[in-house]
Amino acid sequence: MNTSWKLQDAKAKFSQVVENALKMGPQYVTRRGKDAVVILSVKEYQKITTQKPTLKDFLLNCPKMDDGFEFERQKDYPRDVEF
């Protein structure tokens, strides 16, 4: 089955493009010979837009600091407050 469509063909056979996106996966539409858009099922779209790592995975994949890393504290003092 076709996964790449010329814009003119995609317009003429839009129902088929949607059906293929639901059954086969993403359908690519070209305009003037260049990739223009991709038609996805809602399931595929949600899969690629809602994948968030767990807190554990996020923390384990954070950049690591070297052993010699030193924090530099700010030298600002708190402002005076009158009572």
How is the chain split into domains, by residue range?
Answer: 4-60
- Residue 12 CA to residue 40 CA, distance in Å, equals 18
Predicted local confidence at residue 67, as pLDDT: 77
CATH topology of domain 4-60: YefM-like fold (3.40.1620)
Predicted local confidence at residue 49, as pLDDT: 87
Residue numbers in the chain where pLDDT is lower than 70: 1
Are residues 17 and 5 in contact, defined by beta-carbon separation less than 8 angstroms? yes
Phi, psi dihedral angles at 12 (to 5 degrees): -70, -30
User: What is the pTM for the complete model shown?
Assistant: 0.60
Predicted local confidence at residue 1, as pLDDT: 63
Are residues 30 and 8 in contact, defined by beta-carbon separation less than 8 angstroms? no
Phi, psi dihedral angles at 47 (to 5 degrees): -65, -40
